[in-house]
Amino acid sequence: MQIFGELVKRYWRGKLKTPEDLEELTKDIKKKYGFNNEDIPFIRDHIRVAMGQDPKGDIDFEDELSIVKNSKEIQQPIVAKIDGPCEYCEEKECSCKEVCKYEAHIYKRKQGPIIVNNKCLSCGECVTTCDFGALADKIEFMPVIDLLKDESTDVYVTVAPAIVGQFGDNVSMGQLRTAFKLLGFKDMVEVALFADILTMKEAFEFNHLVKSEEDFFLTSCCCPVWFNLTKKNYPNIFEKMSPSISPMIASGRILKKLYKNIKVVFIAPCVAKKAEIKEPGLKGDIDYVLNFRELKEIFNALEIDLEDLPGDDKDQASFGGRVYARTGGVSFSVKTVVNRLEPRRVIKLKAKKVDGVQDCRKILDTLSAGEVIESNFIEGMGCKGGCVGGPRTNIEVEKATKKVNDFGEDSLIMTPFDNLNAMKILKQLGIGSIEEIMESKEIIELLTRE
Protein backbone atom coordinates (compact mmCIF):
# COMPACT_ATOMS: atom_id res chain seq x y z
CA MET A 1 0.00 0.00 0.00
CA GLN A 2 2.89 2.40 0.70
CA ILE A 3 4.33 1.82 -2.76
CA PHE A 4 0.85 2.22 -4.22
CA GLY A 5 0.38 5.50 -2.32
CA GLU A 6 3.61 6.93 -3.76
CA LEU A 7 2.48 5.87 -7.24
CA VAL A 8 -0.93 7.53 -6.82
CA LYS A 9 0.56 10.85 -5.69
CA ARG A 10 2.80 11.15 -8.72
CA TYR A 11 0.40 9.85 -11.36
CA TRP A 12 -2.47 12.03 -10.11
CA ARG A 13 -0.23 15.11 -10.32
CA GLY A 14 1.04 14.26 -13.81
CA LYS A 15 4.58 13.47 -12.67
CA LEU A 16 4.79 9.99 -14.21
CA LYS A 17 5.18 10.27 -17.96
CA THR A 18 8.28 8.28 -18.90
CA PRO A 19 10.08 5.05 -17.90
CA GLU A 20 12.71 7.28 -16.31
CA ASP A 21 10.04 8.71 -13.98
CA LEU A 22 9.24 5.18 -12.85
CA GLU A 23 12.94 4.48 -12.25
CA GLU A 24 13.16 7.64 -10.15
CA LEU A 25 10.15 6.43 -8.14
CA THR A 26 11.94 3.09 -7.62
CA LYS A 27 15.05 4.82 -6.28
CA ASP A 28 13.01 7.05 -3.97
CA ILE A 29 11.12 4.04 -2.55
CA LYS A 30 14.42 2.19 -2.09
CA LYS A 31 15.84 5.09 -0.10
CA LYS A 32 12.67 5.93 1.87
CA TYR A 33 11.95 2.38 3.06
CA GLY A 34 15.53 1.11 3.50
CA PHE A 35 15.72 -1.37 0.61
CA ASN A 36 19.01 -2.59 -0.89
CA ASN A 37 20.16 -2.61 -4.52
CA GLU A 38 19.26 -6.29 -4.85
CA ASP A 39 15.66 -5.38 -3.91
CA ILE A 40 15.17 -3.15 -6.98
CA PRO A 41 13.48 -5.91 -9.08
CA PHE A 42 11.12 -6.51 -6.14
CA ILE A 43 10.26 -2.78 -5.96
CA ARG A 44 9.75 -2.56 -9.72
CA ASP A 45 7.42 -5.55 -9.68
CA HIS A 46 5.32 -4.11 -6.86
CA ILE A 47 5.06 -0.87 -8.84
CA ARG A 48 3.91 -2.88 -11.87
CA VAL A 49 1.31 -4.78 -9.82
CA ALA A 50 0.13 -1.45 -8.34
CA MET A 51 -0.32 -0.31 -11.94
CA GLY A 52 -2.44 -3.40 -12.66
CA GLN A 53 0.26 -5.26 -14.61
CA ASP A 54 2.20 -8.52 -14.39
CA PRO A 55 5.60 -8.76 -12.67
CA LYS A 56 8.59 -8.92 -15.04
CA GLY A 57 11.45 -9.66 -12.67
CA ASP A 58 14.83 -8.08 -13.37
CA ILE A 59 13.73 -6.02 -16.37
CA ASP A 60 13.85 -2.24 -16.64
CA PHE A 61 10.67 -0.23 -17.08
CA GLU A 62 9.64 0.00 -20.73
CA ASP A 63 6.03 0.43 -21.87
CA GLU A 64 4.18 0.26 -18.53
CA LEU A 65 2.75 3.78 -18.72
CA SER A 66 1.58 3.40 -22.31
CA ILE A 67 -0.16 0.15 -21.32
CA VAL A 68 -2.09 2.08 -18.65
CA LYS A 69 -3.12 4.72 -21.19
CA ASN A 70 -4.23 2.24 -23.83
CA SER A 71 -5.75 -0.64 -21.84
CA LYS A 72 -9.46 -0.87 -21.08
CA GLU A 73 -9.22 -3.64 -18.50
CA ILE A 74 -6.78 -5.30 -16.15
CA GLN A 75 -5.80 -8.75 -17.38
CA GLN A 76 -5.95 -12.06 -15.50
CA PRO A 77 -4.54 -13.44 -13.28
CA ILE A 78 -5.61 -11.13 -10.47
CA VAL A 79 -3.17 -12.52 -7.90
CA ALA A 80 0.46 -12.30 -8.99
CA LYS A 81 3.55 -13.99 -7.51
CA ILE A 82 6.62 -11.78 -7.16
CA ASP A 83 10.05 -13.44 -7.22
CA GLY A 84 12.58 -12.91 -4.46
CA PRO A 85 10.81 -12.62 -1.09
CA CYS A 86 10.30 -16.37 -0.59
CA GLU A 87 14.01 -16.85 0.17
CA TYR A 88 13.56 -14.79 3.34
CA CYS A 89 10.65 -16.88 4.61
CA GLU A 90 11.66 -18.98 7.62
CA GLU A 91 8.67 -21.31 7.34
CA LYS A 92 9.62 -24.87 6.42
CA GLU A 93 6.56 -24.80 4.21
CA CYS A 94 4.86 -21.68 2.94
CA SER A 95 2.37 -20.28 5.43
CA CYS A 96 0.13 -19.62 2.45
CA LYS A 97 -0.21 -23.40 2.04
CA GLU A 98 -2.48 -23.55 5.08
CA VAL A 99 -4.60 -20.70 3.76
CA CYS A 100 -5.11 -22.26 0.36
CA LYS A 101 -5.23 -25.96 1.25
CA TYR A 102 -8.78 -26.25 -0.06
CA GLU A 103 -7.79 -25.43 -3.63
CA ALA A 104 -4.20 -25.15 -4.86
CA HIS A 105 -1.91 -27.85 -3.47
CA ILE A 106 1.33 -27.30 -5.39
CA TYR A 107 4.15 -25.79 -3.29
CA LYS A 108 7.93 -25.99 -3.56
CA ARG A 109 10.18 -24.71 -0.79
CA LYS A 110 12.64 -22.80 -2.97
CA GLN A 111 10.12 -21.28 -5.32
CA GLY A 112 7.35 -20.49 -2.90
CA PRO A 113 3.70 -20.96 -3.84
CA ILE A 114 2.64 -21.80 -7.36
CA ILE A 115 -0.73 -20.30 -8.24
CA VAL A 116 -2.97 -22.76 -10.07
CA ASN A 117 -5.30 -20.35 -11.80
CA ASN A 118 -7.92 -22.83 -12.92
CA LYS A 119 -8.33 -23.82 -9.25
CA CYS A 120 -7.80 -20.45 -7.59
CA LEU A 121 -10.98 -18.91 -6.15
CA SER A 122 -9.32 -15.47 -5.89
CA CYS A 123 -10.39 -15.27 -2.26
CA GLY A 124 -7.28 -13.20 -1.50
CA GLU A 125 -6.41 -14.89 1.80
CA CYS A 126 -2.95 -15.88 0.52
CA VAL A 127 -2.17 -12.23 -0.28
CA THR A 128 -2.94 -11.00 3.21
CA THR A 129 -1.18 -13.94 4.88
CA CYS A 130 2.20 -13.51 3.18
CA ASP A 131 4.41 -11.22 5.30
CA PHE A 132 7.03 -10.69 2.62
CA GLY A 133 5.02 -9.38 -0.33
CA ALA A 134 5.56 -12.48 -2.45
CA LEU A 135 1.87 -12.45 -3.44
CA ALA A 136 -0.09 -9.37 -4.45
CA ASP A 137 -3.37 -8.58 -6.17
CA LYS A 138 -3.25 -6.19 -9.11
CA ILE A 139 -4.60 -2.70 -8.42
CA GLU A 140 -6.91 -1.11 -10.97
CA PHE A 141 -6.74 2.57 -10.02
CA MET A 142 -4.38 4.13 -12.56
CA PRO A 143 -6.76 3.67 -15.54
CA VAL A 144 -9.51 5.07 -13.29
CA ILE A 145 -7.43 8.23 -12.74
CA ASP A 146 -7.40 8.80 -16.50
CA LEU A 147 -11.18 8.29 -16.65
CA LEU A 148 -11.79 10.73 -13.78
CA LYS A 149 -9.69 13.39 -15.50
CA ASP A 150 -11.58 12.91 -18.79
CA GLU A 151 -14.39 15.48 -18.66
CA SER A 152 -16.24 13.76 -21.51
CA THR A 153 -16.78 10.56 -19.49
CA ASP A 154 -19.18 10.16 -16.56
CA VAL A 155 -17.87 7.69 -13.99
CA TYR A 156 -20.19 6.29 -11.31
CA VAL A 157 -18.96 4.50 -8.20
CA THR A 158 -21.01 1.73 -6.61
CA VAL A 159 -20.12 0.65 -3.09
CA ALA A 160 -20.50 -2.71 -1.34
CA PRO A 161 -22.79 -2.74 1.73
CA ALA A 162 -19.77 -3.68 3.86
CA ILE A 163 -18.21 -0.23 3.32
CA VAL A 164 -20.08 1.24 6.31
CA GLY A 165 -17.67 2.24 9.09
CA GLN A 166 -14.56 1.18 7.16
CA PHE A 167 -13.10 4.71 7.05
CA GLY A 168 -13.62 5.88 10.60
CA ASP A 169 -16.26 5.93 13.31
CA ASN A 170 -17.19 9.51 12.48
CA VAL A 171 -17.28 9.16 8.68
CA SER A 172 -20.77 8.88 7.22
CA MET A 173 -21.86 7.47 3.89
CA GLY A 174 -22.78 11.01 2.92
CA GLN A 175 -19.20 12.14 3.52
CA LEU A 176 -17.93 9.25 1.40
CA ARG A 177 -20.24 10.40 -1.40
CA THR A 178 -18.76 13.90 -1.15
CA ALA A 179 -15.23 12.47 -1.25
CA PHE A 180 -15.98 10.46 -4.39
CA LYS A 181 -17.36 13.56 -6.07
CA LEU A 182 -14.17 15.45 -5.15
CA LEU A 183 -12.23 12.71 -6.93
CA GLY A 184 -14.34 13.30 -10.03
CA PHE A 185 -17.03 10.61 -9.82
CA LYS A 186 -20.48 11.60 -11.03
CA ASP A 187 -22.21 10.01 -8.02
CA MET A 188 -21.99 7.19 -5.48
CA VAL A 189 -24.69 4.49 -5.46
CA GLU A 190 -25.30 1.84 -2.79
CA VAL A 191 -25.08 -1.67 -4.24
CA ALA A 192 -27.59 -2.58 -1.52
CA LEU A 193 -30.19 -0.94 -3.75
CA PHE A 194 -29.52 -3.56 -6.43
CA ALA A 195 -29.42 -6.27 -3.77
CA ASP A 196 -33.03 -5.27 -3.03
CA ILE A 197 -33.98 -5.87 -6.66
CA LEU A 198 -32.21 -9.25 -6.78
CA THR A 199 -33.78 -10.26 -3.48
CA MET A 200 -37.20 -9.99 -5.08
CA LYS A 201 -36.04 -12.10 -8.02
CA GLU A 202 -34.58 -14.82 -5.78
CA ALA A 203 -37.74 -14.84 -3.65
CA PHE A 204 -39.80 -15.62 -6.76
CA GLU A 205 -37.28 -18.32 -7.75
CA PHE A 206 -37.47 -19.90 -4.31
CA ASN A 207 -41.27 -19.99 -4.42
CA HIS A 208 -41.15 -21.55 -7.88
CA LEU A 209 -38.48 -24.19 -7.17
CA VAL A 210 -39.08 -25.24 -3.56
CA LYS A 211 -42.39 -27.13 -3.59
CA SER A 212 -41.71 -30.02 -1.20
CA GLU A 213 -39.81 -30.78 1.99
CA GLU A 214 -37.03 -32.42 -0.06
CA ASP A 215 -36.38 -29.41 -2.33
CA PHE A 216 -33.62 -26.90 -1.61
CA PHE A 217 -32.24 -23.77 -3.23
CA LEU A 218 -28.78 -22.14 -3.21
CA THR A 219 -28.46 -18.39 -3.40
CA SER A 220 -25.92 -17.08 -5.91
CA CYS A 221 -25.97 -13.52 -4.57
CA CYS A 222 -22.93 -11.64 -3.35
CA CYS A 223 -20.02 -14.03 -3.07
CA PRO A 224 -18.02 -15.17 -6.14
CA VAL A 225 -15.96 -17.51 -3.93
CA TRP A 226 -19.13 -19.41 -2.95
CA PHE A 227 -20.42 -19.36 -6.53
CA ASN A 228 -17.19 -20.60 -8.12
CA LEU A 229 -16.52 -23.17 -5.40
CA THR A 230 -19.92 -24.71 -6.17
CA LYS A 231 -19.62 -24.40 -9.94
CA LYS A 232 -16.11 -25.88 -10.20
CA ASN A 233 -16.44 -28.72 -7.70
CA TYR A 234 -20.13 -29.62 -7.24
CA PRO A 235 -21.89 -29.68 -10.63
CA ASN A 236 -24.85 -31.67 -9.27
CA ILE A 237 -25.45 -29.07 -6.53
CA PHE A 238 -24.77 -26.17 -8.90
CA GLU A 239 -28.01 -27.08 -10.69
CA LYS A 240 -29.86 -25.95 -7.54
CA MET A 241 -28.22 -22.53 -7.51
CA SER A 242 -30.01 -19.37 -8.54
CA PRO A 243 -28.92 -18.11 -11.98
CA SER A 244 -29.02 -14.50 -10.74
CA ILE A 245 -26.03 -12.21 -11.13
CA SER A 246 -24.50 -10.59 -8.05
CA PRO A 247 -25.64 -7.16 -6.81
CA MET A 248 -22.31 -5.73 -7.99
CA ILE A 249 -22.87 -6.91 -11.55
CA ALA A 250 -26.50 -5.74 -11.39
CA SER A 251 -25.36 -2.25 -10.39
CA GLY A 252 -23.20 -1.97 -13.49
CA ARG A 253 -25.70 -3.50 -15.90
CA ILE A 254 -28.61 -1.39 -14.70
CA LEU A 255 -26.71 1.90 -14.48
CA LYS A 256 -25.36 1.36 -18.00
CA LYS A 257 -28.90 0.62 -19.17
CA LEU A 258 -30.17 3.87 -17.65
CA TYR A 259 -27.20 6.10 -18.56
CA LYS A 260 -25.41 5.65 -21.87
CA ASN A 261 -21.64 5.65 -22.34
CA ILE A 262 -20.77 5.70 -18.64
CA LYS A 263 -18.12 3.84 -16.68
CA VAL A 264 -18.77 2.09 -13.36
CA VAL A 265 -16.21 1.41 -10.62
CA PHE A 266 -17.05 -0.90 -7.71
CA ILE A 267 -15.59 -0.60 -4.19
CA ALA A 268 -15.17 -4.04 -2.59
CA PRO A 269 -14.02 -5.62 0.68
CA CYS A 270 -12.21 -8.41 -1.14
CA VAL A 271 -10.02 -9.57 -4.02
CA ALA A 272 -12.55 -11.99 -5.55
CA LYS A 273 -14.66 -9.19 -7.03
CA LYS A 274 -11.71 -8.21 -9.24
CA ALA A 275 -11.85 -11.69 -10.76
CA GLU A 276 -15.65 -11.76 -11.02
CA ILE A 277 -15.81 -8.79 -13.41
CA LYS A 278 -13.53 -10.67 -15.81
CA GLU A 279 -15.65 -13.80 -16.06
CA PRO A 280 -17.11 -14.66 -19.50
CA GLY A 281 -20.59 -13.20 -19.76
CA LEU A 282 -19.89 -10.56 -17.12
CA LYS A 283 -17.10 -8.58 -18.79
CA GLY A 284 -17.91 -4.92 -19.27
CA ASP A 285 -20.68 -4.77 -16.67
CA ILE A 286 -18.27 -3.27 -14.12
CA ASP A 287 -15.19 -1.56 -15.52
CA TYR A 288 -12.85 -1.61 -12.52
CA VAL A 289 -12.81 -2.79 -8.89
CA LEU A 290 -11.00 -1.13 -5.99
CA ASN A 291 -10.98 -2.47 -2.46
CA PHE A 292 -11.33 -0.73 0.90
CA ARG A 293 -7.60 -0.73 1.70
CA GLU A 294 -6.72 0.68 -1.70
CA LEU A 295 -9.36 3.38 -1.33
CA LYS A 296 -8.04 4.33 2.12
CA GLU A 297 -4.55 4.73 0.64
CA ILE A 298 -5.96 6.84 -2.20
CA PHE A 299 -7.65 9.21 0.25
CA ASN A 300 -4.41 9.45 2.26
CA ALA A 301 -2.22 10.00 -0.80
CA LEU A 302 -4.48 12.76 -2.12
CA GLU A 303 -4.88 14.30 1.36
CA ILE A 304 -8.65 13.96 1.52
CA ASP A 305 -9.79 14.24 5.14
CA LEU A 306 -13.17 12.52 5.20
CA GLU A 307 -14.21 13.79 8.62
CA ASP A 308 -13.91 17.42 7.48
CA LEU A 309 -16.21 16.97 4.48
CA PRO A 310 -19.91 17.92 4.40
CA GLY A 311 -22.31 14.99 4.12
CA ASP A 312 -24.40 14.27 1.02
CA ASP A 313 -26.76 11.64 2.38
CA LYS A 314 -29.32 9.65 0.40
CA ASP A 315 -31.54 6.80 1.61
CA GLN A 316 -31.26 4.36 -1.28
CA ALA A 317 -31.62 0.86 0.13
CA SER A 318 -33.60 -1.17 2.64
CA PHE A 319 -32.46 -2.74 5.89
CA GLY A 320 -32.57 -6.08 4.06
CA GLY A 321 -30.30 -4.93 1.24
CA ARG A 322 -27.79 -3.31 3.57
CA VAL A 323 -27.31 -6.38 5.76
CA TYR A 324 -26.22 -8.42 2.74
CA ALA A 325 -22.77 -7.45 4.04
CA ARG A 326 -22.80 -9.96 6.89
CA THR A 327 -23.52 -13.67 7.27
CA GLY A 328 -27.27 -14.33 7.22
CA GLY A 329 -28.14 -11.06 5.51
CA VAL A 330 -29.16 -12.59 2.20
CA SER A 331 -31.29 -15.23 3.94
CA PHE A 332 -33.04 -12.63 6.08
CA SER A 333 -33.75 -10.37 3.12
CA VAL A 334 -35.09 -13.11 0.82
CA LYS A 335 -37.24 -14.53 3.61
CA THR A 336 -38.95 -11.16 4.21
CA VAL A 337 -39.98 -11.02 0.56
CA VAL A 338 -41.03 -14.68 0.40
CA ASN A 339 -43.30 -14.07 3.39
CA ARG A 340 -44.80 -11.00 1.74
CA LEU A 341 -45.39 -12.74 -1.58
CA GLU A 342 -46.99 -15.85 -0.04
CA PRO A 343 -47.84 -15.24 3.64
CA ARG A 344 -49.69 -18.58 3.89
CA ARG A 345 -47.02 -20.63 2.17
CA VAL A 346 -46.97 -24.22 3.43
CA ILE A 347 -43.23 -24.79 2.82
CA LYS A 348 -41.56 -21.99 4.79
CA LEU A 349 -38.07 -20.71 3.97
CA LYS A 350 -35.63 -22.35 6.38
CA ALA A 351 -32.15 -20.97 5.94
CA LYS A 352 -28.74 -22.57 6.41
CA LYS A 353 -26.00 -19.92 6.63
CA VAL A 354 -22.34 -20.85 6.29
CA ASP A 355 -19.22 -18.71 6.03
CA GLY A 356 -15.56 -19.41 5.33
CA VAL A 357 -14.33 -21.69 2.55
CA GLN A 358 -14.00 -24.69 4.84
CA ASP A 359 -17.60 -24.51 6.10
CA CYS A 360 -18.86 -23.83 2.59
CA ARG A 361 -17.16 -27.03 1.47
CA LYS A 362 -18.66 -28.98 4.36
CA ILE A 363 -22.24 -28.05 3.52
CA LEU A 364 -21.65 -28.71 -0.19
CA ASP A 365 -20.16 -32.12 0.63
CA THR A 366 -23.20 -32.88 2.78
CA LEU A 367 -25.63 -31.88 0.05
CA SER A 368 -23.63 -33.70 -2.63
CA ALA A 369 -23.75 -36.91 -0.57
CA GLY A 370 -27.54 -36.69 -0.51
CA GLU A 371 -27.74 -36.24 3.25
CA VAL A 372 -30.90 -34.61 4.57
CA ILE A 373 -30.55 -31.20 6.20
CA GLU A 374 -33.15 -29.17 8.05
CA SER A 375 -32.95 -26.27 5.56
CA ASN A 376 -34.14 -25.41 2.06
CA PHE A 377 -32.33 -22.11 1.43
CA ILE A 378 -28.52 -22.32 1.50
CA GLU A 379 -26.47 -19.15 1.84
CA GLY A 380 -22.68 -19.37 1.49
CA MET A 381 -20.07 -16.67 2.08
CA GLY A 382 -16.40 -17.29 1.36
CA CYS A 383 -15.19 -15.10 4.25
CA LYS A 384 -15.84 -15.59 7.96
CA GLY A 385 -18.58 -13.20 9.00
CA GLY A 386 -19.53 -12.55 5.38
CA CYS A 387 -18.28 -9.61 3.31
CA VAL A 388 -17.45 -7.67 6.49
CA GLY A 389 -14.70 -10.28 7.00
CA GLY A 390 -13.17 -9.78 3.57
CA PRO A 391 -9.35 -9.79 3.23
CA ARG A 392 -9.30 -6.14 2.12
CA THR A 393 -11.34 -4.58 4.92
CA ASN A 394 -10.01 -1.93 7.32
CA ILE A 395 -11.72 -2.89 10.60
CA GLU A 396 -12.35 -6.11 12.52
CA VAL A 397 -15.35 -8.31 11.74
CA GLU A 398 -17.30 -7.76 14.96
CA LYS A 399 -17.13 -3.99 14.72
CA ALA A 400 -17.96 -4.04 11.00
CA THR A 401 -20.98 -6.27 11.60
CA LYS A 402 -22.34 -3.86 14.20
CA LYS A 403 -21.79 -0.91 11.86
CA VAL A 404 -23.68 -2.70 9.08
CA ASN A 405 -26.57 -3.63 11.36
CA ASP A 406 -26.82 -0.08 12.73
CA PHE A 407 -26.75 1.43 9.24
CA GLY A 408 -29.42 -1.03 8.13
CA GLU A 409 -31.62 -0.02 11.05
CA ASP A 410 -31.16 3.65 10.10
CA SER A 411 -32.85 2.99 6.76
CA LEU A 412 -36.36 4.33 6.35
CA ILE A 413 -37.08 1.19 4.27
CA MET A 414 -37.47 -2.10 6.11
CA THR A 415 -37.59 -4.69 3.32
CA PRO A 416 -36.78 -4.82 -0.41
CA PHE A 417 -40.53 -5.18 -0.99
CA ASP A 418 -40.99 -1.63 0.36
CA ASN A 419 -38.16 0.05 -1.55
CA LEU A 420 -39.69 2.70 -3.82
CA ASN A 421 -36.22 3.46 -5.21
CA ALA A 422 -36.03 -0.11 -6.54
CA MET A 423 -39.54 0.16 -7.97
CA LYS A 424 -38.64 3.45 -9.67
CA ILE A 425 -35.69 1.75 -11.39
CA LEU A 426 -37.85 -1.18 -12.45
CA LYS A 427 -40.42 1.22 -13.92
CA GLN A 428 -37.66 2.93 -15.89
CA LEU A 429 -36.84 -0.54 -17.23
CA GLY A 430 -40.46 -1.11 -18.25
CA ILE A 431 -41.67 -3.08 -15.20
CA GLY A 432 -44.99 -2.02 -13.72
CA SER A 433 -45.19 -4.44 -10.78
CA ILE A 434 -42.95 -6.76 -8.76
CA GLU A 435 -44.55 -9.84 -10.33
CA GLU A 436 -43.35 -8.74 -13.78
CA ILE A 437 -39.73 -9.33 -12.73
CA MET A 438 -40.25 -13.00 -13.63
CA GLU A 439 -42.42 -12.27 -16.66
CA SER A 440 -40.27 -9.79 -18.58
CA LYS A 441 -37.74 -11.50 -20.84
CA GLU A 442 -35.64 -8.33 -20.92
CA ILE A 443 -35.42 -8.09 -17.12
CA ILE A 444 -34.69 -11.80 -16.71
CA GLU A 445 -31.79 -11.48 -19.17
CA LEU A 446 -30.57 -8.34 -17.43
CA LEU A 447 -30.47 -10.00 -14.00
CA THR A 448 -29.33 -13.50 -15.03
CA ARG A 449 -25.95 -15.06 -15.82
CA GLU A 450 -25.46 -16.54 -19.27
> Which DSSP letter does residue 270 get?
S
What is the reported pLDDT for 184? Answer: 98
* Nearest alpha carbon to residue 246 among 158, 328, 375, 332: 158
Q: What is the mean pLDDT of the chain?
A: 92
Residue 106 clears pLDDT 50, i.e. is over it? no
Q: Residue 261: left (phi > 0), alpha (psi -120 to 50), or beta? A: left
Alpha carbon distance 298, 65 (integer Å): 19
Is 339 exposed, middle or buried (CB count within 10 Å of its CB: 0-12, 13-18, 19+)? Answer: middle
What is the reported pLDDT for 278? Answer: 95
Q: Which residues touch 27 (CB under 8 Å, ≥6 apart)?
A: none
Render pLDDT for 3-55 as a digit per residue (tens, 0 to 9).
Answer: 999 999 999 999 999 999 999 999 999 999 999 999 999 999 999 999 999 99
What share of the chain has pLDDT > 70, as a percent?
A: 93
Residue 112 clears pLDDT 60, i.e. is over it? yes
Q: Which residues touch 70 (CB under 8 Å, ≥6 apart)?
A: none
* Nearest alpha carbon to residue 96 among 66, 120, 70, 69: 120
245 contacts 281 by C-beta, under 8 angstroms: no
What share of the chain has pLDDT > 90, as a percent?
A: 80
* Nearest alpha carbon to residue 349 among 246, 199, 237: 199
Residue 305 clears pLDDT 70, i.e. is over it? yes
What is the reported pLDDT for 109? Answer: 45
Strands (E), 250-324: 263-268, 288-291
Which amino acid, one-letter code, is at 313?
Answer: D
Helix-helix angle 192-209:329-341, to 10 degrees? 60
Alpha carbon distance 381, 370 (integer Å): 22
What is the reported pLDDT for 85? Answer: 77
Least confident of 115-119, 218-222, 290-294: 115-119
Least confident of 58-72, 124-138, 152-166, 334-348: 124-138
* Nearest alpha carbon to residue 228 among 380, 350, 345: 380
What is the reported pLDDT for 120? Answer: 76
* Nearest alpha carbon to residue 185 among 141, 219, 119: 141
Q: Of residues 156 and 437, which shows the higher confidence score?
A: 156
Q: Is 0.75 surpassed by the pTM of this model?
A: yes
